Amino acid sequence: MVNRKYISDAVIRRLPRYYRYLGELLNNNVTRISSGELSRRMGLTASQVRQDLNHFGEFGQQGYGYHVEVLYQEVARILGIDQVHNIIIIGAGHLGQALVNYTNFEKRGFHVIAMFDIAPGIIGQTIGGRTVQSIENLEQYISENVVDIGVLTIPKAEAIHMANLLVECGVKGIWNFASIDLQLADPTVIVENVHLSDSLMRLSYKFSNQN
Amino acid sequence: MVNRKYISDAVIRRLPRYYRYLGELLNNNVTRISSGELSRRMGLTASQVRQDLNHFGEFGQQGYGYHVEVLYQEVARILGIDQVHNIIIIGAGHLGQALVNYTNFEKRGFHVIAMFDIAPGIIGQTIGGRTVQSIENLEQYISENVVDIGVLTIPKAEAIHMANLLVECGVKGIWNFASIDLQLADPTVIVENVHLSDSLMRLSYKFSNQN
């Protein structure tokens, strides 16, 4: 058991990348890799890779490097994706439909167990194998099923109300795509805000400032 | 004219958030704000806000704070979103459809001028007011229109080929949703990789490590 120290956001931000790169190495039957080679592929420095991974224990061996599969499994464990997480999606519009059909999530232990919407036209339709339910069923559904994470793919105006409703029902994680930074009163609820237009603005910034 | 110094990724990462928060203040008819109040709303420290904004010039006035609209316009200019950027979307699946219907992009100067796909079933359909074109028209379309940014909402296996094709056609920005870090040979091409499952893994991490 490793003593957990404070881990900076920057390190946490890189962990999924390690996971992806290690997964790709495994797919290409690479069994071991040096910190130098791993860092080169990821566009980091070797010392940064060593520092990052040292937060979580001693994985590398002098003169051998990293055992790819062991490190891959360990990063998965650290990220908590060796566990199954049950997800419900609120909002069966295009983005909700894109997410329910995204096979990468299933591979990483995220199971979409239900979708909800408010629009009569879409309730009852089957999307990615799930029948869209009326939002009116939400509270009952959560009381009868284990729901870890609620995904909000709904307009900003409804996001705060819906997030609070999920929290009242006992949901402990919110993955929010509405263009608002959700700030909830309950600090035990984990919120991850995704702002797609922030990403586009960063692209615009780099575009405008490259010369 | 401000002398551009090196600006860290962390600052660039926060700029779109400033833009969003300032926009919200404007919508609520707030005309000026202190760095303390702005930082409180954004969950930053006042000195961080002052440092961030000082990278770009002297906006605040002692005892007055920031003029919200002036700062908003200035952040927009810094981000380059006071310019119009023409976007094409490659991949008219659910995610492509979600993006073309996302009105926030239009508001920020990003105009989706065309969509392309490979599937005969979707070519010719009208989505968000645009007729989906065959990918075979791509090169000709780019030669006849100003295309700033290509958005890839296609599978990973095709992303590298398609990115290279866009670059050969002269496109200078790629917004990539395929689950691969695109690394292009041409350093003048700006790439922004979006990994939705990275975000979900960060949520999972916080979920697993909160206690």
The pLDDT assigned to B99 comes to 93
Q: What is the mean pLDDT of residues A156-167?
A: 94
User: Is the torsion defined by CA of A43, B197, B202, A77 positive or negative?
Assistant: negative
**3 state DSSP class of B25:** helix
Q: Which one of B13, B196, B208 has the shortest CB-CB distance to A83? A: B208
Q: Residue B134 and residue A107: Cα distance in Å, rounded?
A: 31
Q: Which residues contact A27 (CB under 8 A, 6 or more apart)?
A: none
Quickly tell me which residue has 């002036």 as its tokens. Answer: B70
Helix ranges, B28-137 (H) = 35-42, 46-54, 68-79, 94-100, 103-107
Q: Residue B94 and residue A165: Cα distance in Å, rounded?
A: 27
B75 in contact with chain A, both atoms CB, cutoff 8 A: no
| Best to test chain A binding among B27, B203, B206, B210 (most A CBs inside 10 Å) | B203
With CA atoms as reference, the chain B residue closest to A200 would be B175
More confident residue, B138 or A66: B138
What are the backbone angles phi and psi of residue B106, rounded to the nearest 5°? -60, -45
Provide the pLDDT confidence category of residue A151 given band limits of 50, 70 and 90.
very high
Residues of chain A with CATH 3.40.50.720: 85-198
Q: What's the gap in Å between the CA of A105 and the closest CA on chain B?
A: 7
Q: Say which CATH topology domain A9-79 has.
A: Arc Repressor Mutant, subunit A (1.10.10)
Residue type, B88: I
Strand B173-176 and strand B190-193: the pairing is parallel
B5 in contact with chain A, both atoms CB, cutoff 8 A: no
pLDDT digits (tens, 9 = 90+) for A188-198: 899 999 999 89
Query: Highest mean pLDDT: which of A29-38, A93-102, B115-124?
Result: B115-124
**DSSP for A124-163?**
T-EETTEEEEEGGGHHHHHHHS---EEEE-S-HHHHHHHH
10-residue stretch averages of pLDDT, chain B, 211 residues long: 63 90 93 91 90 75 81 91 94 94 85 96 94 97 97 93 95 93 88 91 87 48
Residue type, A49: V
Q: What is the mean pLDDT of residues A54-59?
A: 70
pLDDT more than 70, % of chain A: 93
Q: Which residues contact A149 (CB under 8 A, 6 or more apart)?
A: A85, A86, A87, A88, A110, A171, A172, A173, A174, A175, B203, B207
Q: What is the H or E stretch that residue B55 is in? A: none
**3 state DSSP class of A67:** strand
User: Is the torsion defined by CA of B191, B179, A59, A33 positive or negative?
Assistant: negative
Closest alpha carbon to A79 in A169, A167, A13, A159: A13
pLDDT digits (tens, 9 = 90+) for A12-21: 888 999 999 9
Find residue A126's DSSP bridge partners: A131
Q: Average pLDDT of chain A?
A: 89
Q: What is the H or E stretch that residue A48 is in? A: helix A46-54
Task: Round to the nearest angstrom and report the end-to-end CA distance of chain A.
Answer: 49
Are A202 and B195 within 8 A, CB to CB?
no
Provide the pLDDT confidence category of residue A105 given band limits of 50, 70 and 90.
confident
Provide the pLDDT confidence category of residue A43 given band limits of 50, 70 and 90.
confident
Angle at CA of residue A164, ends A144 and B43, nearest 5°: 135
Q: How many CA atoms lie within 13 A of B138 on its CB side?
A: 25
The pLDDT assigned to A85 comes to 94
pLDDT digits (tens, 9 = 90+) for B35-49: 889 999 998 998 999
Q: Residue A123 and residue A27: Cα distance in Å, rounded?
A: 40
Q: How many CA atoms lie within 13 A of A12 on its CB side?
A: 20
The pLDDT assigned to A143 comes to 97
Q: What's the gap in Å between the CA of B22 and the closest CA on chain A?
A: 13
B56 in contact with chain A, both atoms CB, cutoff 8 A: no
pLDDT digits (tens, 9 = 90+) for A122-139: 999 999 899 999 999 999
Q: Which one of A173, A183, A202 has the shortest CB-CB distance to B203? A: A173
A91: pLDDT strictly greater than 60: yes
Residues of chain B with CATH 1.10.10.10: 9-79
pLDDT digits (tens, 9 = 90+) for B160-192: 999 999 999 999 999 999 988 888 888 899 999
The pLDDT assigned to B86 comes to 96
A55 in contact with chain B, both atoms CB, cutoff 8 A: no
Q: How many CA atoms lie within 13 A of A132 on its CB side?
A: 20
Q: What's the gap in Å between the CA of B60 and the closest CA on chain A?
A: 22
Are B197 and A105 within 8 A, CB to CB?
yes
Q: Which one of A78, A175, A188 has the shortest CB-CB distance to B203? A: A175
**CATH assignment of B85-198, given 3.40.640.10, 3.40.50.720, 3.90.190.10, 2.40.50.140?**
3.40.50.720
Q: Residue B198 and residue B145: Cα distance in Å, rounded?
A: 34
Q: Which residues contact B124 (CB under 8 A, 6 or more apart)?
A: B131, B132
The pLDDT assigned to A1 comes to 40
Q: What's the gap in Å between the CA of B207 and the closest CA on chain A?
A: 6
Q: Which of A22-36, A47-61, B38-52, B70-84 has the lowest mean pLDDT?
A: A47-61
